[in-house]
Chains A and B, each alone.
Chain A
């Protein structure tokens, strides 16, 4: 069985952006890695302890969804950066840099440039307008049920697709890292996710992400220091050795080795920008701090950590080329890298730090998946219970205790569904699922969020049509595109040429939002436009927002 390998780290990714057709290598189950498993169990035990502690502090709905708004800004910032510094950042990014050089840097710039935009334009307004989910922000002045339904659908699609991609990726990664079977990995990831979220709520979920981020950044720093020492702390020598040993030579540092079509570069850039703005589990983290000022500081800390980590792994990725190409023991008899490109970072960790550091980083890589799926499950469950059950079905008249019960049931349902789907998709090429997730985030959630915050003219009708058209066009174009039409359905030529539909579906969503809003002459539309004034005052001042609880 050959499984495309760079693929799986991509699926673990916040940046599921690597084209499938350039992926090589196979997942071979590795021998049991005892250090990694022992360290991973330590992490699990520690986080379960935290979950127990968190459960004693999660009583109300606020506590459960947003840790009562009592998370300190710096801690939230670390957790946000943790959501972005996933296994893919570590494994997929270094693998891509090792394989294709410069083009991998486009992925880094996508993350690094989107976050300042979120800081300047989104995070503070989001905190001032919402309570638990980003759907709250949309329905602050757009009162129709349709808006809640379409934005909840956008949110849920992102969460569910993302979750499946992560879990499938996790199963494959664990075969590589720990030598355990796919099925055990899938079940254990989901069971732990259910425990963290249903018992510990947002407080536990944030702590899990926080601890993992600290471990990842610490491990990354140690690795890069060891690597820099091997090159006498000279960046020039790292680049020189990389271009001299890599088969691409000097071309390693030029664009176009991987993403050859210029339009594909632009499409990727737009998908990163809008997709990252529309991720519900990240947006939800903004509600866990006490006010807009802390949401701003959270974003700022997150940016600092992410930028630091990207600088590290860019150096690491270029340095890895020389170290690895001069270590024949990591290649099989046919000259292929053992475990494929995904293993670049871990092989180099082994070269630099031996079995212990390898075990540590493998455990951190798996912990990363757990932390990310927990955040996803919480965001999905909150959407089901708060946005759909309580607001749409019960019209806001539901009992808070029943709503919380529904949340916990939703976590179980999400976990069990994702186990079943992960088993069903084990041998499928699931890159389209990861693509779909980011495309929907960029073509439904982000346009709606930007429009409601910055455009007085938006009405319910515009939001419903815009959201629906963004959703439908993303799905249709992905089916017609290379990830499904050729990779899954086996056709010769894709009808839509690009991986990501965002370059078309996102503008379509904005046009529909505009058109169906300006042509909306109803009385309700006028009320909604007038309500922009009040919304603006609140988004700037935070007057009347849900207050924080002290932890």
Chain B
């Protein structure tokens, strides 16, 4: 099944193509959002440090500290979205397509 020929077959199957396109859209979109946040944070801290010291309301919280805390929470949320999506959507769909093509994805066997 890992021969070149069957890999070609799977690759050329339009449903498989559609599946991996969709997956790439999700992972590229999420990755680029994370990268944009990461770069923006670092560029602002490096070149426009004043943007990091704005007062938030009446409190002693500043924009920089708040941004740090918010980014940490955002990263957990982004990772949860991806993991949840891949677990509940992508994996079952992938298994179904492979099954329809007569190929079974690996299962945790007891080969020793």
Residues of chain A having any CB pair with chain B under 8 Å:
60, 102, 105-106, 108-109, 112-113, 115-117, 119-121, 124, 235-236, 239-240, 243, 250, 253-256, 262-263, 265-266, 269, 273, 290-291, 293, 296-297, 299-300, 303-304, 307, 310-311, 314, 531, 533-534, 536-538, 540-545, 547-550
Contacts and interface: CB of A to CB of B under 8 A. Distances in A.
B27 A120 contact: yes
26 contacts: A108-B72, A109-B68, A109-B71, A113-B71, A113-B75, A115-B75, A116-B30, A116-B31, A121-B27, A121-B31, A239-B59, A239-B61, A240-B60, A254-B64, A269-B39, A293-B86, A304-B79, A310-B72, A533-B7, A534-B11, A540-B23, A543-B7, A543-B10, A547-B109, A549-B111, A549-B112
A550 B108 contact: yes
A266 B37 contact: no
B61 A236 contact: yes
Interface of B: 1-2, 4, 7-8, 10-11, 16, 19-20, 23, 27, 30-31, 34-35, 37-39, 41-43, 45-47, 49-50, 52-53, 59-62, 64-65, 68-69, 71-73, 75-76, 78-80, 82-83, 86-87, 91, 94, 98, 103, 105-112
Contacts of B87: 293, 296-297
B87 to A, nearest CB: 7
Contact of A296 (B16, B37, B86, B107): B86
Contact of A297 (B1, B45, B83): B83
B110 A116 contact: no
Nearest to A108: B68
Task: Identify the interface centre among A311, A534, A538: most chain B CB within 10 Å of its CB.
Answer: A534
B107 to A, nearest CB: 8
Contact of A266 (B1, B42, B69, B94): B42
Contacts of B86: 124, 293, 296
Contacts of A115: 75, 79
Given A240-B60, A254-B53, A307-B73, A109 B38 contact: yes
A243 B86 CA distance: 44
Contact of A117 (B10, B16, B34): B34
Nearest to B39: A269
A434 B77 CA distance: 32
Nearest to A254: B53
A362 B78 CA distance: 34
Contacts of B39: 269
B64 A105 contact: yes
Task: Identify the interface centre among A106, A112, A291, A299: most chain B CB within 10 Å of its CB.
Answer: A112
Contacts of B107: 547
A477 to B, nearest CB: 20
A296 B71 contact: no
Contacts of A255: 45-46, 49, 52, 64
Decide if the interface of chain B is mainly helix, strand, loop or mixed.
helix
Nearest to A544: B2
Given A239-B65, A538-B2, A538-B7, A547 B73 contact: no
Given A116-B34, A296-B83, A543 B49 contact: no
Task: Identify the interface centre among B61, B91, B106: most chain A CB within 10 Å of its CB.
Answer: B106
B71 A541 contact: no
A547 B107 CA distance: 7
Given A117-B31, A548-B109, 14 more contacts: A108-B68, A109-B38, A109-B71, A115-B79, A120-B34, A240-B60, A255-B45, A255-B49, A290-B108, A303-B76, A541-B105, A543-B106, A549-B111, A550-B110
A427 to B, nearest CB: 35
A1 B103 CA distance: 67
Contact of A548 (B42, B49, B103, B108): B108
Given A290-B108, A303-B76, A543-B98, A102 B52 contact: yes
A545 B111 CA distance: 12
A543 B61 contact: no
A235 B62 CA distance: 12
A288 to B, nearest CB: 13
B79 A311 contact: no
Contact of B79 (A236, A303, A531): A303
A300 B81 CA distance: 10
Given A117-B34, A121-B31, A544 B75 contact: no
B78 A102 contact: no
A273 B65 CA distance: 21
A263 B46 contact: yes
Q: Which are the 9 A-B pairs with shortest beta-carbon distances?
A: A544-B2, A262-B46, A265-B46, A534-B7, A113-B38, A269-B42, A239-B60, A300-B83, A255-B49
Contact of A291 (B52, B60, B72, B106): B106
A124 B8 CA distance: 21
Nearest to B10: A537
Contacts of A265: 42, 45-46
